[in-house]
Structures are given as C-alpha cells and as structure tokens.
A and B are shown apart, each in its own frame.
Chain A
Amino acid sequence: MIGGLFVYNHKGEVLISRVFRDDIGRNAVDAFRVNVIHARQQVRSPVTNIARTSFFHVKRSNIWLAAVSKQNVNASMVFEFLYKMVDVMQSYFGKISEENIKNNFVLIYELLDEIVDFGYPQNTDTGILKTFITQTGVKSQTSKGQLTKSQSKEETSQITSQVTGQIGWRREGIKYRRNELFLDVLESVNLLMSPQGQVLSAHVAGRIVMKSYLSGMPECKFGINDKVLMESRGKSTMDDATRTTSGKTAIAIDDCQFHQCVKLSKFETEHSISFIPPDGEFELMKYRTTKDISLPFRVIPLVREVGRQKMEVKVVVKSNFKPSLLAQKVEVRIPTPLNTSGVQVICMKGKAKYKSSENAIVWKIKRIGGMKECQLSAEIELLNTNDKKKWTRPPISMNFEVPFAPSGFKVRYLKVFESKLNYSDHDVIKWVRYIGKSGLYETRC
C-alpha cells in the first residue's frame, strides 16, 4: 500500500506532500531528495530502497513524482497508479510543470483525496472524476438560491449513485446529434539487432485508444484479428472460408489487458470484446506481441578504426514496407567516442550533424518512402588520451513514425447497439487510424 506521495521540482524542493499512512515519517521526504534527486551518481533505477523504505519515482519534464511505501507493495501497481495520476493531472491542467503544479495545488490535494484512500488507489478515471471534482467548484452554484440548491442536491445524489453504481464510468442521458467514434491503434516497436542483422530481441507494445461521442448507453462489440479469438469464432460457425482467410492475417497476441468497461466474463466465455464505453477518450486495450513483427527499418552499420587517431563510420538505412506508405520523423543517432575531436559527415538524404553535447551524430530525414535505401558516411578524428579504456561502442538508435501497425494488428469490426434510442450501427460514423512508432530501436555496431 502506498504510504505517501511526494512531488518535487528539479531542485528537490517539495511541491506536494501527502502522507497516507503512519509508517512514513517526515524524514522520508528528505531521504528521497538526498539519495536520489541530489545523488552524486545519477540514479537510474525507478525503485530505490532507503532505510527499509521503498521509493517509486517517475519523472515528467523537471518534476519528480515519488510514491513511498514501507510495505512489500506491488511495484507495477504503484507505477500504474503514478502514470494514471500523471494522466489525471494532465487532463485537468495540461502540461505538468512546476508552475502548473504550484497554481493547482489545492486541486491536486483534492484529487489525491479522491483517487487514494489510506494508500489504496481508487477510481482514477478522468471522465468520472471530472463530474464531481470541477475546477470551478460545485458549490458556487448553491449560493444562487433555494431552487438551485435542491437541483444541485439532485445532481450530487445522481453523481453518487452513478459513481457507486454498476456502470460507474458512464452517466445516463448523454445525447449527441452526430454519433461518431474514433479508434487509434498506437504501436511502439522495440528492437535490438546485432551488427550482422540478426534480431536479438524484438517486441511491439500496442494500445488502442478510443474516443466516443455516442448517445445513450450503447453496447459495443469489437473484433480484432487475434488468433485465439478468430479460431474460436471459426469453430463456432464451422465456416471453412473464414477459417482460411483468418489463417493468413491472424496474429498472436502474447498478453493483453482491457479497460474496466469491457465485460471480462463475456470475453472468457464467448471470446468477444463487448463493452459500454465511457464518454470521451479512453484506452480500450493494451497488448504486446513478439512474433512475426514486420520491422519497418533495417540499419546496417560499418565501423572501421583507422589507427588510434581516426575512425570511419558508414551507416545504411533501408526502409522495409509498402512503397505507397511514407515514414515520417526519421532520426538516426550514431554515438561517437568520448575523445572525438572532429567529425566530417556526408549523407545523400536528409541532414546530419555532429552534436557534441550529446556525443553523437544525429541524422534526420523528414520523409522516406517504402523500400528505399539511404546512406551516411562519417570520418571521426580522435584525440589521444591517458586512459587506455577501449570505446564500448554503444548501439545506434533510431526514431520514426509509420502509418501502419508493425505487429500486423487489424481492427475487423466495431459494432454499436443501442436498443432504447433509435440509431443503429450504420448511423455511427467510425474512424480508424494506425500509427507505428519506434520504442527502443537499436542496432549494435
């Protein structure tokens, strides 16, 4: 259980401090500052144990969020909570910065009271929170008069019943002129490749974000090309045709996790994803795949050390997807030795520059089509040093954005049923978008 939560600025000054349990003393605040924020060596581990107290921290821009616990708490739960907390704060006051936190500290304490109880995380859904924690304040209406007061009373009782009810994430009586929904499939590809082009490890972490503007209490059904779901469907219908088609495109999802609105009992028995969505934006599903990933780019490095004073680097980048698609924001980062004294770079496409502050050559290409190849060559001059330490050759890393899902993930259908109101599945306007991004995309050299 979380014992307390502290927010620090980059200097280590405490902006927010909330202690939920007695076992966390006042000195815990200082312990974290001294041992992590002001540590001589940069602390890279997100979990630090100081004097039998665990500190879990995340950093957003210059702000440190640290959850503290004396107990053997589930670390992933704590981090999930911290990320949710960041989401909640962002949705309330935008970017997380020292200024914003200082301006909204009353609100933050109010939020903390609501989302954590005695160290146990509670409802962190922004949509719901916004119904009863408003930045203007619910009470301001009550001063108008007796009538409004009774109204607001009604309102509050409604909130209460809804929050504590079965469908806590959606209130009743929502009406839209246009029923519309947006579905984003966001994937990040992680790769580690050997210099010879052998994949050492690769996985895709994907999430499906849905934005819904639907009236009433609609029930949605969602279909994807997951092997297990498809096969079970195929079996139940005994349709050979669908089976063969599904065999081609189905993917193997290693594990997945759903928003609380998805009816898990149905998922388990009928292998169908059905839910009543919250209003507005939410993350419907998260998943991970490790098999049959189509890697959008391949990096071929060639490093040659010419004596002790010079080094030659040649990097070839190949794009490996349909020629009709365009990758964007491509950036290749080639680390240089710590005793680099000068760099000459030549590249055919894009712009490349030696960034001494980061000890790397950064090569940027705005746009690149599928099945293309571009090349960079650099000459690095080195300075003799006293240390005989050999350069460790950190991997070349890459950033990009492509308009498809590298895992092969496909949305097969999304059906909306609303029995009480008179609109059908066909009346709903649906948008689907696929974005593949690079996570840690590295090639050793």
Chain B
Amino acid sequence: MPAVKGDGMRGLAVFISDIRNCKSKEAEIKRINKELANIRSKFKGDKTLDGYQKKKYVCKLLFIFLLGHDIDFGHMEAVNLLSSNKYTEKQIGYLFISVLVSANSDLMKLVIQSIKNDLASRNPVHICMAMQCIANIGSRDMAEAFTRDIPKILVSGDTIDQVKQSAALCLLRLLRQSPDLINLGEWSSRVIHLLNDQHMGVVTAAVSLIDTLVKRNPDEYKGCVSLAVSRLSRIVTSSYTDLQDYTYYFVPAPWLSVKLLRVLQNYPPPEDAAVRTRLTECLETILNKAQEPPKSKKVQHSNAKNAVLFEAINLIIHMDSDPNLLVRACNQLGQFLQHRETNLRYLALESMCLLATSEFSHEAVKKHQETVITALKTERDVSVRQRAVDLLYAMCDRTNAEEIVAEMLAYLETADYSIREEMVLKVAILAEKYAVDYTWYVDTILNLIRIAGDYVSEEVWYRVIQIVINRDDVQGYAAKTVFEALQAPACHENMVKVGGYILGEFGNLIAGDPRSSPMVQFQLLHSKFHLCAPATRGLLLSTYVKFINLFPEIKPQIQDVLRGHNQLRNSDVELQQRAVEYLQLSTLTTADVLATVLEEMPPFPERESSILAKLKKKKPDSVKENAETKMPRPAAQVNSFPEQPHPIAMPEVHNEPNQDSADLLGLSTPVPTMNATPPKDSAAGLLVDVFDTLGAMTTTTTATNGLTPGADEGFKSGASTVVGAAGDLTEGTEQRYKEFLCKNNGVLFENDLLQIGVKAEFRENLGRIGIFFGNKTSFQFTSFTSEVSLPGELSNQLMVQANPVDPVVDGGAQKQQMLNIECITDFSEPPLLNIQFVYSGAQQRIALKLPVMINKLVESTEMDSTTFFQRWKTLSSPQQECQRIFKAQHPMDSEQTKAKLLGFGMGLLENVDPNPENYVSAGVLHTRNQKVGCLLRLEPNMQAQMYRLTLRTSKESVSKELCELLESQF
C-alpha cells in the first residue's frame, strides 16, 4: 500500500501496517477483531457514511477477507458503492463483489442491475469495469443477463477499441461458462471481421474468442481462415518497428501470431490457391526468421521467437501437405536438438515425434538419429529422455531398427525406473515388427529379459513363445540360446519361464550336444525351481512331464522329483494337483499315449500382437482400450476342470501345461486342445458363460475347436483401411458380418484408427441398433459422418431412421449412433453403412454391411410334436419348401449346433422329432405387412459328415433366404 497521498486512505494504510507489525498470530487476530467491531459499529451507526468512508471500510473488509477470515457483512455497502460516480469507489465496489459475493446470493439481482446501468453509460471506463466484473464472476446468471448486451457492444461501430477488447474477452469467458446460451447468429461475420481491426489489442482479444467459436462450430466461421492468413502475413512481413507497442523484444506481436496459427490449426489446408500460397509464404518467412541471428541476447527475445516458430511447425504438421515445409521444419528442429536450452530440446523432440509419423518428413527425421541417441544417453532431465525414447520409437523402420533397438537396449540398463516398462514394451514391439531375422529377435528379447526382467510384462514373453513355436527355423537356435542364458548364476524369473517353456518343447533339438544333454537340461532347470513363484513352478512341472516324453532316459529322475514331498504335499493346490497327475500320467500310460498327450504344441494362430495393445493401454490418451484387452483372462477355465480320478480323463491333464499358454494366444482365446476329448457339459457351459460376457465371440465357440477361424481372420483383415469410393464395401468385413448371424452384440469392424461396435435389439418387426464408433488414435476425427443406405429394392423392404453423429470424435473417445429399423416385408440384402471422416488431413471412407438379417426378425414359438408335424405337412408345396444337402464345414458337435440354432433365433424344440439326432425349430417372422410362420429341420449324418437342412415357410422367398443364411453356419 503506498504512503497516503491524494486519494489514498489513511485509515487503511494504518490498519495494514498494524497487521504487519503484529508479533504473533494471536495479536493479529485481536487487531482484526477490533477492526471488525469498529466497522460494524460504523455501519450500524445512525450517521450515514459518505462514499469515501464506505470505500475505506469495504477495503478493510476485503483485506481482512484476503487474510483468511470470514466476512459476513458489508455486502450491501459494497453494492451501494457501485452506484457512485467516482472511479475509485466504483472500482473497490466491483472488486469486493467479484471477490466476495457468491454467485447465488440474493444481492446478485442488485448487482446485475448496477452492471446494466454501467454498461449503458457513456463513460468507457465504467463499461470496462462492468465487463470486468461480469467476466470475474462469470456465473450462469451473468451469462443469462448479458447474452445480448456484450455482443452488441463488441460489434457496435461507435465503441472505442479498449472497450471492444474487454467485450471480446468478457464474451469469451461467458462462452466458456455457458456455451449453450451464447449464440451470435447474425453477428458472426462481424466478429470474424474484427480480425481486420486497426487496433492490434482488439485483434488479439478477438482471435481468442474466434478460436473458441471455431472449435464449437467450424463451418460457421470458415471465413476467418483467409482473414487470419492475411493478418498473419502482415505481421510476419512487418519489420519490428512497425507495430510499436505490440513488438515484444524485437518480435512483432508474438502472442497474436501464435493465436492466429492456432486458429488455422482448426481447419484443413486452405483450398483457395492464393490463400494457400500466402500461408505457405508466411510459414516460410517464420522459418527463415528462425535462421537469422538473434536481435537480442535476452531470453525473452528467443522465447517469443521460438513460441511463434513452434506454433508454425505445429501448423505445418497439422496441414501435412507441403513436403518442402515439413523437411524445413524438421531441419529447424534438428538444430534445436543440440540447443543449450533444455526446454527447446524437449519441444524439438516432441514435435519431431509428430513429424516422424508424416510420410513426407519421415526420412528427414531419420537423419537426426545420432543426435537423438546422444540425447537419450546424455540428457539430464528424465522427461526429455522420455521424449527421446518416443521419437526413436516413432522414427524406427526396417532400415534402422537393428541399430535403434540395440541403442535402446544398451540404454535400458541405466534407464530411469519410471520409463523402463514403457521402453521394454517399445523394444519388444520394434524387435518384432522389424525383425528380418528371427534369431535376432530371440536374442533381443532374451537380452531384454536379462537386462530388465522386472519390467517385462507377461505379454512380452508370451509373444516370444508364440513366435518361436510358429517358426520352425528358430526353434533350435532359441533352445540353444535360452539354455545358455539359463546358465547365468542369477537369472530372472521371466527368463526361467521362457527357458522352461522352450526347453520343454524343443529341448530335444539340442540334446545331441553332450554339454546340453537331457540330464544337464533338467538339472539346470531344476536348480532354479526352488527360487521361483508357484506359477513358474507349475510351468516347470509341465516342462518336466514334457521331458519325460522327449527323453525317456531321464524318466526315473523326473519321477523322483515329482514324487518328492515338496511336490506331492505342496500346500499350493495347483502344484500338488499337477505333481500328482503328471506322476500318474508318466507311470500308468504307455509311451504312445504319452507321446500323443504331450505332443509338441500346435502353432498359434497369427494375430495382432498383444504387446501393442498393452502399450496402448499404458498411454491412456492415445487409444481407447479395445474390448479385448479388458476381457477377463480365461485362465480360470483350465483350473476349473472337474477332478476326475478315472484314467480315461487323463488326457485332459494335457491342458494344464498350457495354462500359461492360454494367455499366449492373446487375451481372450481359449486353449486349442486338439487332442483332448470334448469336455463335460459343466465345463462347456462355463466356457459359454465366459464368452457370453465377452460378447465378442459367438456362443458356438466351445473348447473343442478353440476359436472360430473366422474371428481371427476378421482380426487380421481389420488392419487395413481401404480408402475407396463410397459404395465399395471395405474389404475383410464379410467375416465379421457373418458372425452377427447368430449374435446381436459385438465388434463389426476394427482397424488402426477406428473400432465399430454394434449392439442390436429386435422385437417383432422393429429393431434398434446402437453403433459405437471408438477413435483408437490420439487425434481428432473431424467431419465424421455415418449414413445408412438401402440399395436397390431394399428401400421398399426396410425403413431406417438414423440419428446424426457428432462431426468431431476426439482422440480416444467413443461416439454413439442409434438406428431405428422397421421391416416392411422380407428382404435378402443387408443395408449398408457408409462412414466418412477426416483423420490428420486425409479423408477416410469405410463401407460396411449392417448386420440386419431376416432371421433377426424371427421369434421362436413353442409347440409340441403333433402340432409341429401337422403344420409341417400343411406347408408341403414345393414353393414353400427349401432344402439343401451339404457337407459339414465345422466339426459336427451337437452342443455347438444347438447353440448356433438358438443364436439364429428360431429356438429349438426338444422331443419333437422321432430321431433324437435331428434338430427342429419353429418361429414366426414379423414384418409390417405380414407374419410368416417358419419351420426348420436339420438332419445330421455323422458317417458322411453331411447335413440336410429343410425349411418350410408360408412364403417362398423367406424359405430360400433363411436356408441360405443358415447353410453357411454348419
């Protein structure tokens, strides 16, 4: 508080100095209590206070409040101050109100009235103060009261610049508070034209406002692009002496430039060639300026200059269209990589990560590999090193993978704990993605486990085993390598796991060498046994039983181990059970049975790496977890096999070595137990339950065949996005579409960018379909549209109503579209779903078949044997019947068939057909025009592996269509 002079308040100054001189907290509280009592008596007193006194006391109250005490009076006096004409009194009044009056206070009405008066006044200072108060309080009430006034002031011709500036910022605040209330409507073009204002302050304030408006409604404000570009070019080309007050340390209007560049990032590159050229020129000028020697040594100068530069580079990356600019930007960033300033290095690495993803600049980024690697090793700040790792990951491709992986591995030994796990995942992914030679891959991953075993997640080593098992050429090498790695005196548990698994499968490939004879292998593994956790021990026990098969000569030793008390009486039930069962297996069965049961694992089906999913999960901003990663692991199913003392059931034990491998397959697929007998009903039921909750698999999937091959193909093919003309179906979606025949919920489409899930409900002739679009990237999709088209006759057969979808899908977000479907008459072709969106500047198109088949509208009916055959006979004319005889494409399992028929929607009638092998179903097809009764009979012939499918309905086309749909399922 300045010494008292002129308009100062002496009492206030004295009070504040008293408070400051207080020796202790107690003394301060006493002084404040005294002052509060004084103010109370003054406010209460009969004498009316003049403006000066009111101001002084309100000021004191404000000061006391700011010291942390509650103030529960004086509000009225503050409101009175608002009506004063003196600047200081009004100012203090507004200050008190914006700090102390809560938004829902009764006084707010009075305050709003005073603000209205001030807004209407001629004095610009009063208007500004009023707007400042509105913005400070920024409540919904304020927004409601002033939605009309503020924009009017903003665009009015006779408001002075300073007021316009305040109005723009005030409006921005209200817009953020209650976006629904503010609608500029007819004024939007005038707001855009504020960019042309003479006064730089107005422009700066207006750009902030426009940026927010543009984010809400890009189309309405499209006009701002050309204006922004021209304004930008005027600033960029001006010399620093031109913009007198707005030049900051020799940089012309840095804040305005940055804001303009940000506004431009809301739009794709301008289509108008002239504007585009101008913008390119601007960006080039900015890049040129970065090359010029600095005009000042002050840090403010370089900060301002670099701020503009980085925003320009962001815009270049956003446009992603001009290779020349991209390469220049990259070179500029390359210079920053060696800059003294840590912040600059950080920003450079971060921006380069984005540049590396652009095809134009990828090569240019690669030039800086050496520098980035040095940065990784020498940076002192961990966040910078983290960026360096990200960049290395982004710039890696087939040519430099080996080198980058080697560097990352080398660095891993000294890396910070916080980034190790992520690095491990990245190394694992790069090694797999760019492996030319799989021995190199195996070496790399084993090294990884050796160096950072604690950070190697399960997915990583599952993946190694998947790859080793699927590739014959590396198996021997892998066995040799793990054997060598295990010889280290202390090795990580993950290494023991990998070693145990691989030796158990392929130990025979190296058994020829006397240094790694069966006995040596066994002893080596067993030496690690006692140091491991129960899960690993279980795996090792499985390995031992596999050894019995591989090397019959060491069977007695292994049996000794299994027979040991540590195993047979282990407190861990799982270990105990394994030991008992393996021991029995090895003593009771013949070599042949043993060989069959303990056969080498079949190759794993190829699928997307689960590590990638894990990395995505680790970076929550980048990808919305896809449904698969969330699913519970089906490990439980293996453990929950019913205990069966009967030796016949023993082959099931064979599942147990796969307990860990269950997860190897990915995260949700069950064990492919080729040789096992079909599990008992209870187990199957359990599995079906698991899949019901998973929702992504057909219920027909049971343990016997593990996984429907189709599901997997769908998985693979989803990886490619087809950019094609609308109407062409996106490739690889057929399989998934077919799966929907027997289910209503699941994933319809998935690629790197987008996942589309479907949830459908049908009742009689009506259906509701929810379509969920999940953005898997960390960037926005813009101009997102999704339309349903009904080709050909379908438009007469179906009615589809679709809600519009939000045009913007944020990174990682999910958007929903609801469809209402009404079936008028039966149909054969499904409706098509066309999706279009812009992802990082590129237009993407996806066309899919909507899973709406005629069988969805069939409701099952119950009937007994006599009625069924009565109706069956009435529908005997050849037009009503449709019969197919075909060879089974899938194993003929009754449980599966039942599940499929139930999923199909026609239900299943028990005890109807005299032959219990046969299946019969009955249902009614609902359409708006008519109801069609449908009867079905499916006769399997086990010997010939054939089916005969007969459908009888009252309408010829329906019979045909249903028959065709169902045929493909068996």
- The contact sample of 21 A-B pairs, CB cut-off 8 A, is A62-B23, A62-B24, A339-B72, A339-B73, A341-B37, A341-B40, A341-B41, A341-B43, A341-B45, A342-B41, A342-B44, A356-B33, A356-B37, A357-B37, A358-B30, A359-B33, A359-B37, A385-B73, A386-B72, A386-B73, A389-B72
Determine if A381 is an interface residue (Cβ-Cβ < 8 Å).
yes
Contact of A356 among B38, B44, B68, B70 (CB under 8 A): B38
Binary flags per residue of A350-373, CB closer than 8 Å to B gives 1, else 0: 000000111100000000000000
> A339, B105: Cβ atoms under 8 Å?
no
Binary flags per residue of B863-883, CB closer than 8 Å to A gives 1, else 0: 000000000000000000000
A42, A356, A381 interface centre (most CB from chain B within 10 Å): A356
Determine if B526 is an interface residue (Cβ-Cβ < 8 Å).
no
Determine if A26 is an interface residue (Cβ-Cβ < 8 Å).
no
Please name the residue on chain B nearest to A10 by beta carbon. Answer: B24
> A357, B23: Cβ atoms under 8 Å?
no
> A385, B72: Cβ atoms under 8 Å?
yes
**A357-B31 contact, Cβ under 8 Å, with A62-B23, A385-B73:** yes
Binary flags per residue of A33-71, CB closer than 8 Å to B gives 1, else 0: 000000010100000000000000000001000000000
**A357-B72 contact, Cβ under 8 Å, with A10-B24, A339-B40, A341-B40:** no
Collect the chain A residues with CB atoms within 8 Å of residue B216's CB. Answer: none
> B75, A386: Cβ atoms under 8 Å?
yes
Determine if B25 is an interface residue (Cβ-Cβ < 8 Å).
yes
Determine if A383 is an interface residue (Cβ-Cβ < 8 Å).
yes
Binary flags per residue of A198-235, CB closer than 8 Å to B gives 1, else 0: 00000000000000000000000000000000000000
**A340-B105 contact, Cβ under 8 Å, with A42-B25, A62-B24, A357-B31:** no
Collect the chain B residues with CB atoms within 8 Å of residue A342's CB. Answer: 41, 44
Collect the chain B residues with CB atoms within 8 Å of residue A10's CB. Answer: 23-24
Report the Cα distance A359→B68, complex, angstroms: 18
Determine if B289 is an interface residue (Cβ-Cβ < 8 Å).
no
Binary flags per residue of B50-89, CB closer than 8 Å to A gives 1, else 0: 0000000000000000001010110100000000000000
**A383-B73 contact, Cβ under 8 Å, with A341-B40, A356-B38:** yes
Collect the chain A residues with CB atoms within 8 Å of residue B23's CB. Answer: 10, 62
Collect the chain B residues with CB atoms within 8 Å of residue A62's CB. Answer: 23-24
B38, B41, B70 interface centre (most CB from chain A within 10 Å): B41
Collect the chain B residues with CB atoms within 8 Å of residue A387's CB. Answer: 70, 72
In the assembled complex, the CB of B186 is this many whole angstroms from the nearest CB of chain A, namely: 42
**A357-B73 contact, Cβ under 8 Å, with A10-B23, A341-B40:** no
Determine if B398 is an interface residue (Cβ-Cβ < 8 Å).
no
Determine if A384 is an interface residue (Cβ-Cβ < 8 Å).
yes
Report the Cα distance A50→B25, complex, angstroms: 22
Determine if B34 is an interface residue (Cβ-Cβ < 8 Å).
yes
In the assembled complex, the CB of A342 is this many whole angstroms from the nearest CB of chain B, namely: 5
In the assembled complex, the CB of A57 is this many whole angstroms from the nearest CB of chain B, namely: 15
Collect the chain A residues with CB atoms within 8 Å of residue B75's CB. Answer: 386
B37, B45, B68 interface centre (most CB from chain A within 10 Å): B37
Report the Cα distance A342→B41, complex, angstroms: 6
> A383, B43: Cβ atoms under 8 Å?
yes
Report the Cα distance A281→B114, complex, angstroms: 73
Please name the residue on chain B nearest to A62 by beta carbon. Answer: B24
Extra inter-chain contacts (4) besides given A356-B33, A386-B73, A386-B75, CB under 8 Å: A339-B73, A359-B33, A381-B44, A383-B73
Collect the chain B residues with CB atoms within 8 Å of residue A358's CB. Answer: 30, 33
Collect the chain B residues with CB atoms within 8 Å of residue A341's CB. Answer: 37, 40-41, 43-45
Collect the chain A residues with CB atoms within 8 Å of residue B105's CB. Answer: 386
Report the Cα distance A381→B45, complex, angstroms: 10
- Count of interface residues, chain A, beta-carbon cutoff 8 Å: 20
Collect the chain A residues with CB atoms within 8 Å of residue B40's CB. Answer: 339-341, 383
In the assembled complex, the CB of A359 is this many whole angstroms from the nearest CB of chain B, namely: 6
- Count of interface residues, chain B, beta-carbon cutoff 8 Å: 21
**A383-B38 contact, Cβ under 8 Å, with A339-B73, A357-B31, A359-B33:** no
Report the Cα distance A356→B33, complex, angstroms: 6
Collect the chain A residues with CB atoms within 8 Å of residue B31's CB. Answer: 357
Report the Cα distance A341→B41, complex, angstroms: 4
B23, B33, B38 interface centre (most CB from chain A within 10 Å): B33
In the assembled complex, the CB of A186 is this many whole angstroms from the nearest CB of chain B, namely: 27
Collect the chain B residues with CB atoms within 8 Å of residue A381's CB. Answer: 44
Binary flags per residue of A318-358, CB closer than 8 Å to B gives 1, else 0: 00000000000000000000111110000000000000111
In the assembled complex, the CB of A389 is this many whole angstroms from the nearest CB of chain B, namely: 8
Please name the residue on chain A nearest to B24 by beta carbon. Answer: A10
In the assembled complex, the CB of B42 is this many whole angstroms from the nearest CB of chain A, namely: 8
List 4 A-B pairs, minimum CB-CB distance, nearest first: A356-B37, A341-B44, A357-B30, A357-B34
In the assembled complex, the CB of A7 is this many whole angstroms from the nearest CB of chain B, namely: 16
Collect the chain B residues with CB atoms within 8 Å of residue A384's CB. Answer: 73
Collect the chain A residues with CB atoms within 8 Å of residue B24's CB. Answer: 10, 62
In the assembled complex, the CB of B39 is this many whole angstroms from the nearest CB of chain A, namely: 9
Collect the chain A residues with CB atoms within 8 Å of residue B43's CB. Answer: 341, 383
Please name the residue on chain B nearest to A40 by beta carbon. Answer: B68
Report the Cα distance A62→B24, complex, angstroms: 8
Report the Cα distance A296→B45, complex, angstroms: 41
Report the Cα distance A338→B70, complex, angstroms: 11
Collect the chain B residues with CB atoms within 8 Å of residue A385's CB. Answer: 72-73
Binary flags per residue of B788-824, CB closer than 8 Å to A gives 1, else 0: 0000000000000000000000000000000000000
In the assembled complex, the CB of A140 is this many whole angstroms from the nearest CB of chain B, namely: 38
In the assembled complex, the CB of B19 is this many whole angstroms from the nearest CB of chain A, namely: 13
Collect the chain A residues with CB atoms within 8 Å of residue B44's CB. Answer: 341-342, 381, 383
Please name the residue on chain B nearest to A389 by beta carbon. Answer: B72
Binary flags per residue of B242-258, CB closer than 8 Å to A gives 1, else 0: 00000000000000000
Collect the chain B residues with CB atoms within 8 Å of residue A389's CB. Answer: 72
In the assembled complex, the CB of A394 is this many whole angstroms from the nearest CB of chain B, namely: 14
In the assembled complex, the CB of B35 is this many whole angstroms from the nearest CB of chain A, namely: 8
Contact of A357 among B33, B41, B70 (CB under 8 A): B33
Please name the residue on chain A nearest to B25 by beta carbon. Answer: A42
Report the Cα distance A68→B392, complex, angstroms: 51
Collect the chain A residues with CB atoms within 8 Å of residue B72's CB. Answer: 339, 385-387, 389
In the assembled complex, the CB of B29 is this many whole angstroms from the nearest CB of chain A, namely: 8
> A356, B73: Cβ atoms under 8 Å?
no
Collect the chain A residues with CB atoms within 8 Å of residue B38's CB. Answer: 356
Report the Cα distance A385→B36, complex, angstroms: 13
Report the Cα distance A340→B43, complex, angstroms: 11
Collect the chain B residues with CB atoms within 8 Å of residue A42's CB. Answer: 25
In the assembled complex, the CB of B299 is this many whole angstroms from the nearest CB of chain A, namely: 32
Please name the residue on chain A nearest to B73 by beta carbon. Answer: A385
Report the Cα distance A171→B23, complex, angstroms: 45
In the assembled complex, the CB of A311 is this many whole angstroms from the nearest CB of chain B, namely: 13
Report the Cα distance A62→B44, complex, angstroms: 37
In the assembled complex, the CB of A188 is this many whole angstroms from the nearest CB of chain B, namely: 23
In the assembled complex, the CB of B18 is this many whole angstroms from the nearest CB of chain A, namely: 11
In the assembled complex, the CB of B17 is this many whole angstroms from the nearest CB of chain A, namely: 17
Report the Cα distance A381→B37, complex, angstroms: 11
In the assembled complex, the CB of A416 is this many whole angstroms from the nearest CB of chain B, namely: 47
Report the Cα distance A386→B78, complex, angstroms: 13
Collect the chain A residues with CB atoms within 8 Å of residue B70's CB. Answer: 387
Please name the residue on chain B nearest to A384 by beta carbon. Answer: B73
Binary flags per residue of B7-39, CB closer than 8 Å to A gives 1, else 0: 000000000000000011100001101101110
Collect the chain B residues with CB atoms within 8 Å of residue A386's CB. Answer: 72-73, 75, 105
